[in-house]
Amino acid sequence: MLKLKADLIAYVAKSGKLSKQVAELVLADMVDKAGDVKNGAAIQEGFSCMAEGCGLEFISHKVIVLAFEQKNPKNQSEALNWLTTAVKEFGFKCVSLFSSDSISYRILSAESRAKVWQECKFS
């Protein structure tokens, strides 16, 4: 069922009918499931489709903030993995992503930052 929801969100985002307000509403639940083994790829595809429609800077900022508000290191690492893939796909358009001290602080001071960085698969 979760995969169907993620696919539906990706479809709506690809059609260009997804506003930033709607994206904000669904992102919290999507980020919560980003580390899911079965549906993580569909969730990340949804992130990418939303970034196409709403802008990479907006979506990446929201995804990273929401991921690091959680205590789940798997969701944090998957959010960072998606971000690296998105930067490769879209180019580095999200220059101001880490301009906020609070975001940088959350990333650098995560309780399990060693675990998060080990799980990230930078290529």
95 has pLDDT over 70: no
Q: What is the mean pLDDT of residues 51-69?
A: 87
Q: Is 54 helix (H, G, I), strand (E, B) or coil?
A: helix
Residues with Cβ within 8 Å of 113's Cβ and at least 6 positions away in sequence, in order, are 107
Q: Residues 10-35: pLDDT tens digits?
A: 888 888 777 888 888 889 888 988 88
Cα–Cα distance list, 89 to 71, 110, 120 (Å)? 28, 27, 18
Give the number of other Cβ atoms within 10 Å of residue 63's Cβ: 25
DSSP string, 66-80: HHHHSS-HHHHHHHH
This prediction has a pTM of 0.75
| Contact present, 34 and 70 (Cβ < 8 Å) | no
pLDDT category of residue 94 using cuts at 50, 70 and 90: low
121 has pLDDT over 80: no
**Of the candidate ranges 20-34, 87-101, 108-122, the one whose mean pLDDT is the lowest:** 108-122
Per-residue tokens: 22: 């709607």
Q: What is the mean pLDDT of residues 60-67?
A: 88
Domains within the chain, CATH numbers bracketed: 2-119 (1.25.10.10)
% of the chain surpassing 90 pLDDT? 0
Q: What is the mean pLDDT of residues 82-98?
A: 72
| Contact present, 88 and 49 (Cβ < 8 Å) | no
The identity of residue 80, as a single letter, is L
4 has pLDDT over 60: yes
